[in-house]
Structure 1
Amino acid sequence: MGIRRAQSKIDWQNRLPQRTWPRKLPAIGNSATEGIAIMAAQGTAVKGWQGQFEAAQVARAVNVVCMKWGDRYGAFWVNRLFGMVKRNTTWNVRFVCFTDHADGIRPEVECQPLPEVTFDKKLGKYWPKLGLMAEGLGGLDGMTLFLDLDVVIIDNIDAFFTHPGRFLIIREWKDPQLGYGNSSIVRYFIGQESNVLDKFYATPPEVIVETYDSKEQNFLTKAVDEASFWPEEWVVPFSIACLPSNRVIRFFTTPKKPVTGKIVVFYGSITPESALRGEHQRNKRVAGGLHLRPTRRRFGPARWIADYWRE
């Protein structure tokens, strides 16, 4: 386990040859003074999440991170997420993308190599997310907000930085009584949850399959010491908040912008891109009849998404 733990503390500078990784000032901020404030907050010697939380409130400084690996998501997903964050916060943000392919990502985004997590492939593909819990992640420190690439920010997100709590995650909408989280939006403090990786490597894969349904977000929610959930009115799922539950009626429905919510979360086969077109993802087939397959439509185009999901 010691060897595997050491793998999570890799030499971040040597993983990706495509770009260099300067410790530059954050891209989101209105002055050099703001940038200095961020670096000061991230370099604080304060120990414990409470002290780091208070330091972040004083400096109004936070890390916002995302991950991109493989070929499912292109660079424009990162660029649009950066644009949405920039437009919807008054805080000083250091925006970092952990990726295996940095080409095409706008220069204001600080790209770093993916944290290394060794896992059995039969567990699925999302377990690299656990690498975000590594101590010393990418030279970062302090309060950090992780966002999936396929979220759409529709309102100011400052409250995600001021809400108290050590580890905050979305309450999973399916079977909420189980107490699991959805890891599309997670706020935590760098290094404070590094024991998650120890627990992961100490847990046999068959136990993860049986107990956590092979889902990293289920394991993560139970592995951290103090998990809390975001207020339900802040984070809304597109499939529930914007669409009727009846799939036949959906076919004749144009999704409306949610009445409440700061961030819209997409899961399953629907993405902001496919919702904007009003189509099912092109590599899937719509269930429910041959007459639906030529267009692959599931609902009318949600054109309001274009107002928010942009650089």
Structure 2
Amino acid sequence: MNSSKKNTPKLNILCYRWGTKYGVEYVNTLFAMVRRHLSIEHTFHCITDCTEGLQDGIVAHLLPVTGVTGIWQKLMTFQDNFLGLQGQWVVSLDLDIVVVGSLDFLVEQPEHDFLIARNWSKDAKAGTGARGSGSVYRLKVGSHAFIWEKLIKNFDGAVNRYHGKNRDVGEQNWLNAHIEKFHYFSEGKVVSFKRHCHAKGHKFLGINTAKIGKAVPPVEAAVVSFHGDPLPPDVMYSHYGVWRHAPFVKQNWRPSRNELLHFGIVIPTYNRPDDLREALESLLAQSYPHWVAVIVNDASTADYSGIEKSYTDDRFIFISKDHNGGINAARNVGIDYLTGRGIDFVSFLDDDDIFAPDFLENSISVIRQHPEYDWFMSNNYGERKTSQRDIESIKVIDWIDDYIYGKLRGDKAHLFAMPLLSGIRLDERFRASNRWRFFIDLNERTPILAYPNASIRKRYQDGGITKGVKGKYKGPKTMLEIRSRFEKHAYVISRRPFTFSAYKYLLLELLKTPKRLVMLFMQ
């Protein structure tokens, strides 16, 4: 620390989280970004209504009941002796920001007790809106206690007068009305994704220009604010509506993989309680203990009460569906449950399969060595299909080129980074697996890092969760499944029109359709 910073107040970084809009991963990701980009000693605080899943190193404070509600609660930072930090600096950061450069600018201009980012709205430029953006501000605790004191004296009156058009900027309007002179962070350090990153495209005559080009922040920017929609994960891998793909989000909006990683395992089950026991035992045998398993009972007719009584470890979450929807719908239920709960990676395990005891531990080693990848795939062992082809060395693969049309074959163990699954789910039209669209959509976002560990033991049984239906006929059993055989290749062509193998296999599947129709009607 240089001499000019020796006499500055102690620095505290603060974020607020309540409700369900922002999962705990937003806090953990912000914590990691601050650690990477702030060289000045600091303490990271989070005021929240739920402390579950927060990374070690975050000082958690339960959200107090003050009579102030909604976005206005962020103004409690202005309380006298807030969190016992009287005279210290508190920098409040919104959860929907992406840190792209050094945050050391936060301690510049020490002569000012209150600094804030400029508001970029049209109203602010016209002089009719809030002058500052609450996405980033710095306050010397105790210096502006009147802000909070006046608010709690007549909170309802403040809301009625200052709430704003969408009732989401009231606290900014309150600051604008009660702080006579604003001082701002250095120009260009805090920018708007919507206004400064060439992010917005347009829809014209059926053409969406957001598909062309990328959103890029200004070179001098340190913080990009995603006020409103979209949120950072929405544009991490592709465009989102009229908003362009922002590769800088994937580069920066990520938790540290050197910290403790948490895995979520989704286990659909249907009428196989005895097999399920083996699957659950394989999780208890894992050499890495930081996982949670969501067991989704797909409206089984078999008795599972003994399972739930036997497995009381709080890492097991049992969910029972009211109606049977098949493996894809059950997996989606599991993914949805895990979303927003601090899970870093998700994996699927069928109820008749088991993980190798070192699966998660070995995976962590690969994940940390290759932090640029969000999808990891490894081998199975045990029963093998005749077409099985294993991963022989660690390498980057493409699902379309190497799996659908290449030499790689057979079921594999998969680990998906949680943000990768944002907006993508399995096709619930199919009772059996039919995961091709799910995998193609994921592969359009990221390549796959494949490694040769034997991670999952597969078993292939009639009935239950893997096959979904019984019978000797192994071909398509519904019109939908027949259509999906050639639909898969048409979907590849729509995404990658120069994949010539897709045209070949599309034609072959169409030629097989008459025979399949005959077999279908003869069942």
TM more than 0.5: yes
Aligned to 1:41: none
Give the TM-score normalised by structure 1.
Answer: 0.69
Matches of 2:67 and 2:137, distance apart in 1: 21
Aligned ranges 1:37-56 → 2 under 5 Å:
none
The structure with more radius of gyration: 2
Query: Following TM superposition, by how much is the alpha carbon of 1:204 offset from its aligned partner in structure 2, in angstroms?
Result: 6.2
**1:244 & 1:70 partners in 2: Cα distance?**
28
Aligned residue number for residue 220 of structure 1: 175
Change (3 A) 1:199 1:106: same
SS at 1:264 equivalent? strand
Cα 1:203/1:84, change in 2 over 3 Å: same
Q: Pick the aligned partner of 2:114 from 157, 167, 172.
A: 167
Q: Which residue, out of 73, 77, 100, partners 1:154?
A: 100
CA pair 236-196 structure 1, distance change in 2 beyond 3 A? same
Report how far residue 116 of structure 1 moved. Answer: 3.5
- Shift of residue 147 of structure 1? 0.4
- Cα gap change, 1:130 to 1:86, in 2 (>3 Å): same
Question: Structure 1 counterpart of 2:182, which letter?
Answer: A
Which 4+ stretches in 1 moved above 6 angstroms? none
- Matching residue of 2:80: 135
1:106-156, Cα deviation, whole Å (9 max, x unpaired): 01111011244313x6xxx20110111112222223111110111111111
Please point out which of 228, 231, 234 is paired with 1:268: 228
1:76 aligns with 2:36: no
Q: Does 1:126 align with 2:77?
A: no
Q: Provide structure 2 residue ranges, at least 5 long, that are not aligned to the other structure.
A: 204-208, 256-523
Change (3 A) 1:117 1:99: same
| Pair 105,173 (structure 1): closer, same or farther in 2 beyond 3 Å | same
Cα distance in 2, alignment partners of residues 168 and 207 from structure 1: 23
Do structure 1's residue 192 and structure 2's residue 143 form an aligned pair?
yes
Question: 2: distance between equivalents of 1:65 and 1:211?
Answer: 24
Q: Equivalents in 1 of 2:182, 2:189: separation in Å?
A: 17
TM-score computed with the length of structure 2 as normaliser: 0.42
**Which among 196, 208, 216 is matched to residue 241 of structure 1?**
196
CA distance in 2, matches of 1:57, 1:194: 26
Q: Is the 8 A contact 1:57 1:162 kept in 2?
A: no
Contact 2:9–2:89 (8 Å) recurs in 1 = no
1:168-194 CA deviation, whole Å, 9 max, x = no partner? 112211122235211010100112222
Q: 1:222 to 1:152 in 2, by over 3 A?
A: same
Q: Deviations over 1:247-276 (max 9, x none)?
A: 333353421233331100111111111121
Pairing 1:259–2:219 present:
yes
CA contact (8 A) 1:85 1:153 kept: yes
Counterpart of 1:68, as a letter, is R
* Distance in 2 between residues matched to 1:184 and 1:68, nearest whole Å: 13
Distance 1:85 1:186 in 2: 15
Q: Partners of 2:199 and 2:215 in 1: how far apart?
A: 9
Hey, what does 2:39 align to over in structure 1?
90
Instruction: Specify the alignment match of 2:249 in structure 1.
Output: 305
What RMSD in Å do the two structures reach over aligned CA positions? 2.6
Map of 1:28 onto structure 2: none
Letter in 2 for 1:73: Y
Aligned length: 239
- Which fold has the larger relative contact order, with Cα–Cα distance below 8 Å and residues 6 or more apart in sequence? 1
Structure 1 residue ranges without an equivalent (≥5): 1-33, 35-53, 281-296
Match of 2:237 among 255, 277, 290: 277
Partner SS for 1:228: coil
1:200-215 alignment runs, 5 A limit: 200-203=151-154, 205-206=156-157, 208-211=159-162, 213=164, 214=167, 215=170
